[in-house]
A = this chain, B = another copy of it.
Amino acid sequence: MSGVVHRTPLLTSTTLDARCGARVCLKAEPFQRGGSFKFRGAYNRLSLLDAGERARGVVAYSSGNHGGAVALAASLLGIHAVVVVPATGSPAKLAAIEGYGAEIRRYDPATERREEVAVELAQERSLTMIRPFDDYDIMAGQGTLGVELAEQAGDLGLVLVPIGGGGLAAGVSTAVKALLPGAAVIGVEPAGADDTRRSLRAGRRVALDTVDTIADGLRASQPGERTFEVNRRLLDDVVTVDDAAIVEAMRFCFTRLKVVVEPSGAVPLAALLTGAVRADGRPTAVVLSGGNVDPADFAALLARG
């Protein structure tokens, strides 16, 4: 993956350090190719396909960062990609996926289920399904972010990662616990999509009936099987933040760091700014996981905050 995946910078802010009483660095995945960490997993997964699988192509279901990441990785590797997206999805996100050269398959969310549409397509056309998180190659790809953190930040006592399906958290915690065994890894979820926190408490994978958060990349209603097995062993804790705290973290990134961070990407920083997680003097790394947000949506969120 080296030379293809960007080694994104660590950002710092003296204001943030003073506010948290600790040295804090922010891993800036908005600067990753495709605008989020998702490219790491997608590129790793696709680069490990065999010649026959490459020739037949891949399919993914996602209207967001996973769809864009699979489309971009496929285009770099010369693989045909089909991305299943809701007919009601954002035109800007669709345009990004099409811009990477992927074939778009629209489905009607009222009458179809995206996973079934994708499975059917995979069978009909012998495409390889690229799942968004519950896949060891995806998890390993996301884990390269944790390897970079250990190399770039050196000594760390605390690492904060967002949790949707849990692929990033599983990859990063695996890398961090191996390379920096003294560091705590804490996952952060939106309060309205806290499936992993509930699942950890229950000791088994719990599915939420409804999900309600502005963090559109973290709306998974149930942890993955594989991701949950890793996260239950390696995460030190999972905490939640509400939508207002997410908006304030986005505003902090805009005004202080000059970085565009999407709602899902600001969730771990929100936990630090609200005090849901306290650094307690530990050198801390916070993952800013992505920056794909339409300027008008961004403005509307900040105006209501």
Query: Which A residues are within 8 Å of any B CB, using their own CB?
Result: 9, 11, 30-31, 35, 251, 254-255, 257-261, 291, 294-296, 298-299, 302-303
Q: Are B302 and A258 in contact (CB under 8 A)?
A: no
- Tell me the complex Cα distance, A255–B293, Å: 7
Q: Which residue of B lies closest to A15 (CB)?
A: B99
**Contacting residues, chain B, for A251 (C-beta < 8 A):** 295
A sample of 12 more A-B contacts (CB under 8 A), given A11-B31, A259-B260, is A9-B9, A30-B258, A31-B257, A258-B291, A259-B259, A260-B260, A295-B299, A295-B302, A296-B299, A296-B302, A296-B303, A298-B299
- Tell me the complex Cα distance, A302–B302, Å: 14
**Contacting residues, chain B, for A9 (C-beta < 8 A):** 9
**Contacting residues, chain B, for A291 (C-beta < 8 A):** 258
Number of copies of this chain in the oligomer?
2
- Tell me the complex Cα distance, A303–B259, Å: 19
**Contacting residues, chain B, for A35 (C-beta < 8 A):** 258
**Contacting residues, chain B, for A30 (C-beta < 8 A):** 258
**Contacting residues, chain B, for A258 (C-beta < 8 A):** 30-31, 35, 259-261, 291
10 examples of A-B residue contacts, CB within 8 angstroms: A9-B9, A31-B257, A254-B260, A258-B259, A258-B261, A259-B259, A295-B299, A296-B302, A296-B303, A299-B299
Shortest distance from the beta carbon of A223 to any chain B beta carbon, whole Å: 28
**Contacting residues, chain B, for A255 (C-beta < 8 A):** 294-295
Q: Which residue of B lies closest to A260 (CB)?
A: B258
- Tell me the complex Cα distance, A11–B298, Å: 22
- Tell me the complex Cα distance, A251–B30, Å: 15
- Tell me the complex Cα distance, A35–B258, Å: 8
| Residue in B31, B254, B299, B302 whose beta carbon sits within 8 Å of that of A303 in the complex | B299
Shortest distance from the beta carbon of A5 to any chain B beta carbon, whole Å: 14
- Tell me the complex Cα distance, A299–B9, Å: 27
Most buried by B among A35, A259, A294: A259
Q: Are B295 and A254 in contact (CB under 8 A)?
A: yes
Q: Which residue of B lies closest to A96 (CB)?
A: B255
Most buried by B among A260, A261, A303: A260
- Tell me the complex Cα distance, A35–B295, Å: 20
**Contacting residues, chain B, for A295 (C-beta < 8 A):** 251, 254-255, 299, 302
